[in-house]
Chain A
């Protein structure tokens, strides 16, 4: 009898169309493969703020965070499998590899678990992907560079973590941009791993062998390190594209105040983790119309607006934007064509 009541109530809810399934009993896990840089820390902070409130407001029952000790794919695959065993209803994931986790992701889908990936996305069709157009970001870097260095010249490229999809996409975008702007030539390429210290070391090592460069195209998290390497070698300061990190924007501000230094800054907002969380919540809520690939814009700052954003970023952090449930629903709506 009770079952019948529940069923009929459920049917009524479906019929009314507006009221949706309740997610207050649902548990969402976050599988994160790396926490060792400022971007990832900001991502975890944003996620923590939004999900803590969601749990307090009884929107979901639990939103636990799991970080693997290394950046390795097998560790994260094992972690996803353990989350399946734990009985979570949804898994939000920043994946170590777009393809190599597909086996574990498929197992999760087969166990009726909603999987939402972002930043480091997964290609398994059953999962949702919150993607930023990294290729366009790379292309845009060269476009912006053309504004600051209209005469063109030599460029140095700083790559991210080798073998990752993000590094590959930004790099492809940069190559496309350079192809469209033949006045630029990439004369050197180093690996900065999205980390200021690594980038500084890498740039310092290649600097003596480089001809004069007018600009640096990079992937964020490496601009300040590159600036330090140039300063240490007493080389003229090129136009360095920034990546929304607090230390990068602060350096930019100092240089701007000194001699009107101009550049551009862009990166994926770490708060996109919260969008992924809301997408998972919306799917658990019974929404069937959400496309599996959601495109979100990257966060960019120009000469005019970066100083206003700077005080809001905490020391050592990254410019971010945390999504509210309403904003997330709007972002989903923008993707439904």
Chain B
């Protein structure tokens, strides 16, 4: 191989290595999930069971939904720093109004999706940086959440509790839910023609505009989808915890961004992967908590170890995408 000068490399082999890298990149989220699962199985074989997966993964469902929500804005080259507090806000609405006054609850939740759509329009029309707008909104959602639920409490509606504690035969519910989320979003965003337009608005906005597509509309749709999945995430979370807390979702902002990137997404260019994002969210959920708990790290080091695991997992992802370039 060394005898061949770089310029004379056959085209086909170049294409081949690019395809290999792309395959590797597509497989990476699944690989890292498998690695984390293997580590858990080795540390605590008891965890690899129907009961164990239910316990370890049920809190990964809301994380996966929040990650999908974040993925939509990232597909449009934006970032949502308010998704965490938005999930908390939705949680507070779910545990109070959605139970006591379902109509009001549904109205508020739909209204909040509308607010997201408006944010998309505002960001596009005024050409504002989304980081600034959503950072501001994060305080608004947090404030509203504390207004609705000044002290932790409330209770999830019974129908939601029974959905989230559903125990299907053979396959644990969280895995089934993850498959469903990944399949639905993958089909919608990767296999439909408007899905291509949505991703194109992040990939090459100028070309889309010249082709006559409304960028305002794509931005509104992307933000509304983020709002929709944020609502689903908040409701799923409350269905599991049974009760709400104004601060319940705060950690989701960074987790969701990390999940998208771990799942093979890029901050710019409309390159995202719904299946990867769901896998990334599951990996983060497993790496952060079960793995750490089973490793028996001294308490002083646990917080740092949690960060270290995240960095290792994300670093593997960065190494592979660099090879691709």
Partners in one complex: yes
Q: State the A residues within 8 Å of B (CB).
A: 32, 35, 44, 64-75, 77-79, 81-87, 96-104, 106-107, 162-165, 168
Question: Within 8 Å CB of B296, what residues of A?
Answer: 64
B151 touches A85 (CB 8 A): no
B44 and A97 contacting across the interface, CB-CB below 8 Å:
no
Which residues on B sit within 8 Å (CB–CB) of A74?
A: 59, 62-63, 237, 241, 248-249, 251-252
**Which of chain A's residues has its CB closest to B238's CB?**
A100
Chain A contacts for B145, CB-based, 8 A: 163
Residues of A within 8 A of B151 (CB): 163-165, 168
- Assuming A77-B240, A78-B288, A99-B154, what are 18 further A-B pairs, CB within 8 angstroms? A65-B299, A69-B303, A70-B250, A74-B237, A74-B241, A74-B248, A77-B241, A78-B56, A81-B55, A85-B52, A85-B56, A86-B44, A99-B153, A99-B243, A99-B244, A102-B242, A103-B243, A168-B150
- Counted as pairs of residues, one from A and one from B, with CB atoms less than 8 Å apart, the total is 132
- Cβ of B188 under 8 Å from chain A: no
Residues of B within 8 A of A (CB): 44, 46-47, 52, 55-56, 58-59, 62-63, 145-146, 149-154, 237, 240-252, 285, 288-290, 293-294, 296, 299, 302-303, 306-307
Q: What are 17 A-B contacts defined by CB distance under 8 Å? A: A65-B299, A66-B293, A69-B306, A71-B250, A74-B59, A74-B237, A75-B288, A85-B44, A85-B46, A86-B294, A98-B152, A98-B153, A103-B240, A162-B246, A163-B145, A163-B149, A163-B245
Partner of A78, one of B44, B47, B290: B290
- A73-B149 Cα distance, complex, nearest whole Å: 15
In the bound complex, CA of A166 to CA of B293 (Å): 27
Q: Which of A84, A96, A103, A168 contacts B242 (CB 8 A)?
A: A103
**Which A residues are CB-close (under 8 A) to B58?**
81
B294 and A72 contacting across the interface, CB-CB below 8 Å: no
Distance of B221 from chain A, by nearest CB (Å): 29
**Which of B59, B285, B306 has its CB near the most chain A CB atoms (within 10 A)?**
B59
Contact between chains at B59 and A97 (CB < 8 Å): no
* B288: chain A residues within 8 A (beta carbon): 69, 75, 78
Give chain A residues whose Cβ lies under 8 Å from the Cβ of B146: 162-163
Contact yes or no, A73 B241, CB < 8 A: yes
A103 x B241 contact (CB < 8 A): yes
Q: How many angstroms from the CA of A97 to the CA of B251 in the assembled complex?
A: 14
Chain B nearest CB from A53 CB (Å) reads 17
Are B289's CB and A82's CB within 8 A?
A: yes
Q: Which residues on A sit within 8 Å (CB–CB) of B249?
A: 74
For A67, the chain B residues whose CB sits under 8 A away are 299, 302-303
Nearest opposing residue in chain A for B84, CB measure: A72
Q: Are A71 and B299 in contact (CB under 8 A)?
A: no
Residues of A close to B154: CB separation below 8 A: 99
Q: Contact between A163 and B243 (Cβ–Cβ < 8 Å)? A: no
Residues B59 and A81 in contact, CB atoms below 8 Å apart: yes
Instruction: With both chains docked as a complex, state the minimum distance between the C-beta of B95 and any C-beta of chain A, in angstroms.
Output: 8
Residues on A with C-beta less than 8 A from B247 are: 71-73, 96-97, 162-163
Write out the residue numbers on chain A whose beta carbons fall within 8 Å of the beta carbon of B56: 78, 81-82, 85
Name the one of A35, A70, A79, A107 contacting B251, with C-beta atoms under 8 angstroms.
A70
* Chain B nearest Cβ from A135, distance in angstroms: 12
Closest partner residue, chain B, to A41 (CB atom): B300
Q: 5 closest A-B pairs (Cβ-Cβ)? A: A99-B243, A72-B251, A69-B306, A163-B246, A82-B293
Contact in complex: B302, A69 (CB < 8 Å): yes
Cross-interface CB contact of B245 among A32, A78, A83, A96, cutoff 8 Å: A96
Task: List the B residue with the shortest CB-CB distance to A103.
Answer: B242
Given A73-B241, A86-B44, A97:B55 Cβ within 8 A:
no
Partner of A82, one of B55, B241, B248: B55
- Most chain B CB within a 10 A radius of its CB, from A70, A100, A101, A106: A100
Complex interface: chain B residues within 8 A of A77 (CB): 59, 240-241
Q: Residue on A with the closest CB to B244?
A: A100
Question: Known contacts A86-B44, A163-B146: does B152 contact A102 (CB below 8 Å)?
Answer: no
| Chain B neighbourhood of A83, CB < 8 A | 293
CA distance A74 to B47 in the complex (A): 19
Contact of B299 among A35, A75, A78, A81 (CB under 8 A): A35
**Pick from A68, A102, A164: contact of B243, CB under 8 Å:** A102
- A64 smallest CB distance to B (angstroms): 7
- Residues of B with C-beta under 8 A to A75: 251, 288-289
Report the minimal beta-carbon distance from B307 to chain A, rounded to whole angstroms. 7
Given A66-B299, A83-B293: A78 touches B243 (CB 8 Å cut-off): no
Residue from the set A72, A97, A99 with the largest chain B CB neighbour count within 10 Å:
A99
Among residues of B, the one whose C-beta sits closest to the C-beta of A47 is: B299
- In the assembled complex, the CB of A96 is this many whole angstroms from the nearest CB of chain B, namely 7
Known pairs A72-B251, A103-B242; A35 contacts B303 (CB<8 A)? yes
Q: Please name all residues of chain A whose beta carbon is closer than 8 Å to the beta carbon of B306 when the two chains form the complex.
A: 69
User: What's the Cα separation between A72 and B250 when bound, in Å?
Assistant: 7
Which single residue of chain A is at the shortest CB-CB distance from B307?
A69
In the assembled complex, how far is the CB of residue A126 from the closest CB belonging to chain B, in whole angstroms? Answer: 13
Interface centre among B55, B152, B250, B285 (most CB of A within 10 A): B152
Shortest CB distance B238–A (Å): 8
Distance between Cα atoms of A163 and B55 in the complex (Å): 27
State A56–B56 Cα separation when bound (angstroms). 32
B308 shortest CB reach to chain A, Å? 11
Let me know if B152 and A99 touch, CB within 8 A.
yes
Say how far A118's CB is from chain B's closest CB, in angstroms.
16
- Nearest CB on A from B108, distance (A): 19
CB distance from A236 to the nearest CB of B (A): 33
Contacts of A168 in B (CB 8 A): 150-151
B299 contacts A163, C-beta separation under 8 Å: no
Question: What is the bound-complex CA distance between A71 and B248, given in angstroms?
Answer: 9
> Nearest Cβ in chain B — how far from A171, in angstroms?
10
- Measured between beta carbons, the chain B residues less than 8 angstroms from A102 are 241-243
